[in-house]
Chain A
Amino acid sequence: MTANRFNFEQTIDIAWCPGCGNYAIRRALLAALEELGLEREKVVMVSGIGQAAKMPQYINAHFFNGLHGRALPPATAIKACNPDLTVIVESGDGDMYGEGGNHFLHATRRNPDITLFVHDNMIYGLTKGQASPTTRLGMKTPVQVEGVFEKPLNPMALAVSLDVPFVARASAADIDQTKEIMKRAILHRGFSLVDIFQPCVSFNKFNTFKWFKDNSYYLDDAYDPTDRVGAFRKALEEEPFPLGIIYLNNDRAPFEENLPVYRHDKRPLYQRDFPMEIIRDILKQKT
């Protein structure tokens, strides 16, 4: 790999399995960050728990590696307290759509200007191979011994239905295209979701690199992602799954821009001094 300021100079110990799709996603992300010309000091990687959530450890930028399923609330707060920062959330299908499902729903309502990458391998990897919310029907696991009979969650359809202003799907099998989608997601003003297909070489013997390649296709240039109903129809397509930007809405103001705290003063919160006279004024009205 060529010089990249988000890479570490020294060799790092990476906790992923050999052949894991996460390596490809990391390469795409490093390239996207570099090509966007972002400063390390202004990028914060936020994650919960899981193999995907270890990504921040391997990117040379700020990170907040918190609790399982809870990446979005701190990420929202970090951006709200300092809008100058680029905030990127790294998550997996279990972390985001399972444990963190409620935060995902409400992050879509708040629409913070943050980017969410979900490494979707349709399995729980770190806990050794149980079904995730996106595991395909019928797959047998040590827990789902009869095969999965709970309907898999469709993150794309869910996101379009919630008017997430940037909804895309990428595949770890294609680093270049994934990088391009990541760049557009980071640049998008508002909440952006990129669900990234990724094989789990240790625990998902069904949804392999080959399976993902055989069961996906890229949307062509004629596709209009700004048509929400059309996007929803597209999001419902499965096997083959569409890849690329499925939905785009450039008209939603991000959370931070709605906060009155930045209406007259653009400085991040940490740079401000609180005027104690305000307390005095409020108290005097209570006589």
Chain B
Amino acid sequence: MVWGKAVAHIIKEDLSVVLAGEAGQGIQTIEAILTRLLKRGGFNIFATKEYMSRVRGGVNSTEIRIASHKVSAFLDRIDILIPLNRESLPHLAYRTGENTLIIGEKDKIGAQGMLDVPFTKIGLELGNAIYANVVAVGMVAGLLGIDRTLCSDYTAEYFARQPEDVRLKNREAVTRGHEIGVNLARETIWIEIKRDPGIAGDIMITGGEAVALGALAGGCNYLCAYPMSPATSVLVNMADYSKRADIIVEQVEDEVGVVNMAIGAWYAGARAMASTSGGGFALMTEGISLAGAIETPLVVHVAQRPGPATGLPTRTEQGDLNLVLYAGHGVFPRIILAPRSIEDAFILSRKAFDLADKHQVPVFILTDQYLMDSYYNTPLFATEELRIGKYVTETKEDYARYRLTENGVSPRGIPGHGSGIVRVDSDEHDEGGFITEDFIETRNRMVEKRLRKFDAIREDIVTPILRGARDYKTLLIGWGSTFHALSEAMDRLDRKDVAMLHFSWLYPLPTGIREYLARAQTIVIIEGNATAQFGDQLKLATGVDIGNRILKYNGMPFSVEELVEKIRPYTVRS
């Protein structure tokens, strides 16, 4: 082995490893094997990726945090960088520094001071350069002291469906890499990260899987979508579950078809979800209005990415709150949820179906690329107590779909279930569902009936989380996927006078927010968009105009470090 400039590195508690290379080089395979292997070895894991909108070439990278304690947020810091191509270095230059150890093939990467490990050469010795990736997996596992047998057994398991020859070669590749890692740990890199036996039963799923599984747990039995990054993972996961779960998954010709199909499915007694991203959702807006008019429940998942138009197709943003909030002509109630974490994505995606069915309104699950593509170990979700709400009524002969009721919700029948007839019309309609142009009485009654549903919706609101100091002077406000990064930033700031108020139920807003705001001397809103869209909603709800804004809209998620730096001035001043 030929060493580059040997440097003694010491890493404690929390290691950030970044793998980078061009699309098609196998970064995802490395990530998939490595994260599961390290988790089995007892380490807390967080992983997230950023990638370009192309099938081959460019630079994609994956960050894997390996820690003694639970970690759930993106760091800028890179402790160990494993570049598989030369272009990775300038791509990640803003995140690397003198404490970043670069490990890779020196003749290919050519970085000063890097540790030279000839992954490809070893791969070729095993018969194919493709094994280089698994050598890299073995090296990191060896570095972390993962048991050699666990390493080779898991690798063989991962390639179980491959021919025996490929399986054995990969096993050998991981073992060769492991040996290198063990030597590095002995001579060059000192890592002190405690193992946590408590995480053995933890699961690791992405936000995309959590939304899909939450929807299933909510009784979703009809998923329709048109593929669009970053929402596609929900479509793919639902398709993967479809045979076992006996659900219909349909790829529709366009998003207009998607939303109308989903509404038709609800009308016929299914629980349907449309899944898309901002651009696709823009096409659905007339359908949202239809759901509002005919009071058919609807669940729409919108995974945000930066716009306008095609924008940055594979990146993240919180820029579509206004789109979702105002989508659809006319006036009707809706509910907007924005999960703050993987666990919350499961809980709220499930809840969305009962909310939609109970209140007969469109319910939005607003996520983003960062949440879709991130994962960390988390305790197995409790599913024992979960039940799917039953809101459909068996109709009688005198059934009228839009019977006027005190709370605005009319019992919802479906065709074929009972002796009644179920009529729904996008025109203004009477109680029976027939077209009306009676502006003397019926029109007003129907508008008011639909809006009365807001009162019952408000009773179901999930209140925001207040975290940190009770007697805060500075109050940080965020929503959706920024929760973990904000929490970790707060922990790092370690101040006795800072708290955060974090929302995962965005609309309609609960009462009582003004009281939270009134207790603070300084309020800071933190959002992944350029104009503080949620801040505008808070102003509408409370009258408070939050002038302190930390906004990010370059397509990358907030990192813990940048939040610490940007929040700090607001704490010093207070």
Contacts and interface: CB of A to CB of B under 8 A. Distances in A.
A56 B201 CA distance: 55
A121 to B, nearest CB: 21
A145 interface: no
B272 A77 contact: yes
A82 B415 CA distance: 9
A74 interface: yes
B433 interface: yes
B445 interface: no
Given A77-B268, A102-B254, A276-B386, A286 B205 contact: yes
Chain A: number of interface residues, binned into ranges? 35 or more
Contacts of B270: 77, 81, 269-270
Contacts of A42: 415-416
Contact of B287 (A56, A70, A286): A70
B268 A82 contact: yes
A62 B243 contact: no
Contacts of B518: none
Nearest to A269: B270
Given A260-B243, A274-B216, A105 B203 contact: no
Interface stretch (B228-236, B244-252, B318-326): B244-252
Of the candidates A40, A44, A287, the one having the most CB atoms from chain B within 10 angstroms of its own CB is A287
A54 interface: yes
Contacts of B261: 73-74, 76-77
B208 interface: no
Contacts of B253: 102-103, 105-106
Contact of B264 (A40, A73, A260): A73
B415 to A, nearest CB: 4
B421 A272 contact: no
B287 A274 contact: no
Contact of B417 (A49, A64, A259, A270): A270
Contacts of B247: 261
B423 A63 contact: yes
Interface string A73-105: 111111011101100000000000000001101
Interface stretch (B54-62, B79-87, B113-121, B424-432): B424-432
A152 B525 CA distance: 57
Contacts of B200: 287
A257 to B, nearest CB: 13
Nearest to B224: A77
Contact of A85 (B241, B415, B424, B427): B415
B439 interface: no
B242 interface: yes
Contact of B257 (A63, A84, A103, A273): A103
A222 interface: no
A74 B260 contact: yes
A268 interface: yes
Contact of A276 (B264, B380, B383, B435): B383
Contacts of A259: 248
Nearest to A70: B260
A278 interface: yes
Contacts of B380: 283-284, 287
Given A274-B221, A287-B202, A77 B254 contact: no
Interface in B406-453: 414-427, 433-435
B140 interface: no
Contacts of A260: 242-243, 246
A269 B201 CA distance: 34
Given A270-B268, A276-B217, A57 B383 contact: no
B286 interface: yes
* Interface SS, A side: helix
A173 to B, nearest CB: 28
Given A54-B435, A57-B425, A259-B248, A73 B260 contact: yes
B79 to A, nearest CB: 27
Interface string B264-286: 11011110100000000000001
Contacts of B6: none
A272 B246 contact: yes
A96 B494 CA distance: 63
Nearest to B437: A15
B392 interface: yes
A77 B269 contact: no
Nearest to B247: A261
Contacts of A273: 388
Contacts of B363: none
Contacts of B94: none
A273 B219 CA distance: 8
B493 interface: no
A273 B269 CA distance: 12
B205 to A, nearest CB: 5
Contacts of B3: none
**Nearest 3 interchain pairs by C-beta:** A74-B264, A270-B269, A77-B264
Given A62-B416, A65-B423, A65-B426, 10 more contacts: A63-B425, A64-B424, A66-B263, A67-B286, A77-B264, A103-B253, A272-B221, A274-B219, A286-B209, A287-B202
24 contacts: A41-B420, A63-B423, A65-B435, A66-B264, A73-B257, A73-B258, A73-B261, A74-B263, A80-B250, A81-B265, A82-B268, A102-B256, A102-B257, A103-B253, A103-B256, A269-B221, A269-B269, A274-B245, A274-B388, A278-B241, A281-B244, A286-B203, A286-B209, A287-B204
Interface of B: 200-205, 209, 213, 216-217, 219, 221-222, 224, 241-248, 250, 252-254, 256-258, 260-265, 267-270, 272, 286-287, 290, 294, 380-381, 383, 386, 388, 392, 414-427, 433-435
